Structures are given as C-alpha cells and as structure tokens.
Structure 1
Amino acid sequence: MADYQERPATTTIIEKRGGGGTMVAVLLLVVVVAIAAFFLIGSESRKDSAVESAATQVGQAASDVGDAAKDAAGTVKEQPAN
C-alpha cells in the first residue's frame, strides 16, 4: 500500500487591497455630472427667458405699429378731399 504523509498545516493570508480609489472616482464622476446638469438647466432657463423677453418686445412693437396705423387712418379720414 501507498504511504501517505501528512502535510504540515499552513495558514494562507489574503489581503484585500484597493477599492478606495474606485470610490473616489465614482464620487468625482457624480460631482461632475451634477455640475454639468446645473449649468445645462441654467442655460435652458436663460434661453427661455430671452425668448420670452424677445416675444414680448415683438408683441409690443406690433401693438405700437397697429396703433400708429389706426392714428394714420383716422388722420386720412379727417382731411377734406380736394
């Protein structure tokens, strides 16, 4: 029969390394995305505000032109025919 030898007991030590750098990278990515979203949303709000302001000004200008046309038409009607 075969002779079996007992192996001496050994201890294996497993060290966990790393992991901290990944967490920092993920946190940094979240911060960058949050800042980009803030600026994009702010930019859209400024654009919308500018468009609204321009539309208001165009509407006021159209109203002024309409009033001027009414005044001119009234003046033409009041003049005697030659």
Structure 2
Amino acid sequence: MADEIHETRAPDGTTHTTTIIDREPRRGGGLGFGLILLVLIAVAGFVAFQFLANEKTETGAITEAAQKVGDAAQDVGDAAQKAVE
C-alpha cells in the first residue's frame, strides 16, 4: 500500500492538495459464493430425499394393493374350488 500526497501551487499562491490512497482489491466474494453454494447443496439434498421418500411410499402402497388383489383372487379361487366340489 502506497499513499501519495501531491501539492499543486497556483500562480496566485493558493495550494491544492491531492491524496492518492492505493489499496489492495477486496477479495471477500469467495465466502459469499461458498455460502450460497452450501445453501443450494442443502436444498438440493432436501428435495432429493423428499423425492426418494415419496417414491418409497408410493412403491409400498402399490405393493400392498397388489398383495390385497392377490389375496382377493386367492379367496375367489378357493370359493370357486369349493363350489365345484
């Protein structure tokens, strides 16, 4: 960092002072970007787990319904077998 002070004197005797302050550029954007990225990953994970849980629930319900249909078909088959005897 280098600071420079320049004084300019006009012919009528007035002076004008200019100060130049040289600073390093800010590099704080990485933290904000990282935080946003972390939040996006967390939201994506939450959505993915919700989707998988819904798929598992749906698959379980379909399996249970198919089992009930199979049991009902078995009962109908047993009743038909008894009717023939």
- Tell me whether the two structures share a fold, i.e. TM-score over 0.5: yes
TM-score class, shorter-chain normalisation, is: 0.7 to 0.9
Structure 1 CA distance for aligned equivalents of residues 51 and 26 of structure 2: 39
Query: Per chain length, whose mean CA-contact separation is higher, i.e. which structure has more relative contact order (CA < 8 Å, sep 6+)?
Result: 2
Gaps of 5+ in 1: 1-11, 78-82
More strand by share: 2
Structure 2 CA distance for aligned equivalents of residues 36 and 44 of structure 1: 12
Whether 2:57 is the aligned partner of 1:49: answer yes
Identity among equivalent positions (%) equals: 17
Gaps of 5+ in 2: 3-21
Partner of 1:70: 78
More helix by share: 1
Note the aligned Cα RMSD (angstroms). Answer: 1.4
TM-score w.r.t. the length of structure 2 is 0.71
TM-score w.r.t. the length of structure 1 is 0.74
